[in-house]
């Protein structure tokens, strides 16, 4: 079953762009989806995450924070086959 990951990001953030590129590359062909959410677009998200981006989540479970961690994402992919 394919699942969706959420990447919390903000416009103009180089670390966010780097994480998005890495995640998309690893998810390509996996059957899983990536939703990007700009924390500045919603006051509750901006208050919750502030400058603490990028963040990659599956539901409420954090996979990566601040820097793309291919090992952490690979472990998630192994645990969640599509």
My answer on whether omega of the bond before 39 falls inside 30° of 0, hence cis, is no
3-class DSSP state of 23:
helix
Q: What is the pTM of this model?
A: 0.93
Strand partners, 61: 58
Residue 2 confidence (pLDDT) above 90: no
For the domain covering 4-79, report its CATH number.
3.40.30.10
CA angle 33, 76, 78 (to 5 degrees): 100
Residue 82: which pLDDT band, with cuts at 50, 70 and 90?
A: confident
* Percent of the chain with pLDDT strictly greater than 90: 91
Return the domain boundaries, the chain.
4-79
Q: Each residue of 29-62: pLDDT tens digit?
A: 999 999 999 999 999 999 999 889 999 999 999 9
Residue 79 confidence (pLDDT) above 80: yes
């Amino acid at each position: 079953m394919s699942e969706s990951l959420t990447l919390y990001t903000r416009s103009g953030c180089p670390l966010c762009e780097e994480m998005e590129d890495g995640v998309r590359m690893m998810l390509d062909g996996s059957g899983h989806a990536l939703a990007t959410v700009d924390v500045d677009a919603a006051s509750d998200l901006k208050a919750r995450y502030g400058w603490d981006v990028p963040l990659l989540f599956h539901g409420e479970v954090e996979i990566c924070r601040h820097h793309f961690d291919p090992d952490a994402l690979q472990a998630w992919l192994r645990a969640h086959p599509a």
